Amino acid sequence: MKIAVLPGDGIGTEIVAEAVKVLKTLDLKFEMETALVGGAAYDAYGHPLPEATLKLAMDSDAVLFGAVGDWKYDKLDRPLRPEQAILGLRKNMGLFANFRPAICYEQLVGASSLKPELISGLDILIIRELTGDIYFGQPRGRRIATDGHFPGAEEAFDTMRYSKPEIERIAHVAFQAARKRKAAGTEGRVTSVDKANVLETFQFWKDVVTEVGKEYPDIALDHMYVDNAAMQLVKEPKRFDVVVTGNMFGDILSDEASMLTGSIGMLPSASLNTKNQGLYEPSHGSAPDIAGKGVANPLATILSAAMMLRFSLNQPEAAQRIEAAVQNVLAQGLRTGDIWSEGTTKVGTAQMGDAVVKALG
């Protein structure tokens, strides 16, 4: 099992170190190779995704990714900014399906900004299409200066597009995920989020998802406009089971959902291609304001490593062990600053990683 380890920038190096520590505790044979990506790669090689890093990722069974970005790179031409590394990996690896589970652990109910009765027992899965939509549509009408801005420009626009095969394959992923979750006791419902009342692209999306849904008569399907979905996520989040949506809406809604769980520092994610080769990363960013302070929450990255074991490395029992260890640590009352509350014990990044290792036995 070959894992490409790409820590990236900011807190990425700290949180990935803890996930690697946890993986090494398991009685499994991994080949792990580390490479630079993002701003760190730009500083060393003049590009956020060097050829050697991309080749390593392509040749690996899975990628464990930290985070990229820093304010100091904001003046770079857009193709050279750290964030382009993650877009490049998604495109070259064909990572079209992004899984972002939002689970509220019982021990963290009090950390959520919502009332306990709204989020206690919350377990939803947001599936975001990752290689289409406006993020990959052809930009038009730009005059880009070397600092990435538009001096003298009168307009700028980007093209939102989806093809039928792109929508069909992400819809199948969503319905199949709902079917598996139903077997484990959830409702078995897919909510497709769109903006069909305004955007032709998403009327097309809605039509295609509806057609695919006919192949899954055991799974309920409903459609919801994205603005209503954003409202319902904070009004009645447990009404959702599996949410499937496009690239931009999924980006926004999954970050919103993260706060239902108490902190974005608790949210793992997986991005998969048709071969189940995947990139695994926490849903949060590089947080340069706290980088190097040893206070970042590594649990989202550790849980991402568990998803990696489950989806790409075919080690579901090891994944369950890590997830159980995380719950054990939370039950002990250990908390990083983002989820800390009165009566719990505040710990740093490495201490939290050590606690998960200890809980693994």
Q: What is the per-residue DSSP string for 72-89?
A: GGTTS-GGGSTHHHHHHH
CB 53 within 8 A of CB 36: yes
Concerning whether 195 is annotated as a catalytic residue, the answer is yes
Q: Which of 70, 195, 206, 241 is catalytic?
A: 195
Q: How far apart are CA 125 and CA 109, in angstroms?
A: 18
Concerning whether 225 is annotated as a catalytic residue, the answer is no
CB 33 within 8 A of CB 4: yes
Q: How far apart are CA 141 and CA 143, in angstroms?
A: 7
Q: Give which of 281, 265, 288, 295 is closest to 70, Cα–Cα.
A: 288
Q: Which of 43, 45, 135, 346 is catalytic?
A: 135
CB 351 within 8 A of CB 332: no
Number of neighbouring beta carbons within 10 Å of residue 283: 24
Q: Which of 238, 251, 346, 354 is catalytic?
A: 251
Concerning whether 70 is annotated as a catalytic residue, the answer is no
Q: Which of 91, 227, 235, 358 is catalytic?
A: 227
Number of neighbouring beta carbons within 10 Å of residue 197: 10
Q: Which of 43, 123, 158, 255 is catalytic?
A: 255
Concerning whether 251 is annotated as a catalytic residue, the answer is yes
β-strand partners of 127: 99, 244
Residue with tokens 């949210």: 267
Concerning whether 123 is annotated as a catalytic residue, the answer is no
Structure tokens at 250: 């999924």
Looking at 68-152, which runs of residues are DSSP E strands? 97-103, 123-129, 139-140
**Active site residue ranges:** 135, 195, 227, 251, 255
